[in-house]
Amino acid sequence: MKASARHWTLQRLTAVPLAALFIYFVWQGEFIATRSREIFISWLKTPTTEIALVLFIIFGFWHASFGVEEILVDYVPSPGRRKLLVFLSKLFFLVLGLACLYAVMTIKYRKY
């Protein structure tokens, strides 16, 4: 499989769970929009929500990384600069994703 076809396939495959997880979070909107911090934290600590949020973070940043890489490949003419920018964007999304996962784990294990 060519690299571009693999990239296209992976981008579509990461979009499928994102769509399902988006529907889940819209369905859970009453907890997200609550004015009570305690209710929100208790909802966030439920296993289903925690797993959904972790998956949303992983697939979301992975999908975003593919999208930005596609933009860089299309619009950066210099191969050296393109390779550097793709690396930096992947590093950015990795660090940001790990920070989000750390935040979820901090909320899970902290006593409120």
Tell me what pLDDT residue 36 has.
87
Following DSSP, what letter does each residue of 44-97 receive, concatenated?
HTSHHHHHHHHHHHHHHHHHHHHHHHHHHHHH---HHHHHHHHHHHHHHHHHHH
Span 62-104, pLDDT tens digits? 999 999 999 999 999 999 999 999 999 999 999 999 999 999 9
- pTM, entire model: 0.89
How far is C-alpha 43 from the chain's CA centre? 20
In this model, does residue 112 exceed pLDDT 80?
Answer: no
Q: Walk me through the domains of the chain, giving residue ranges and CATH numbers.
A: 3-109 (1.20.1300.10)
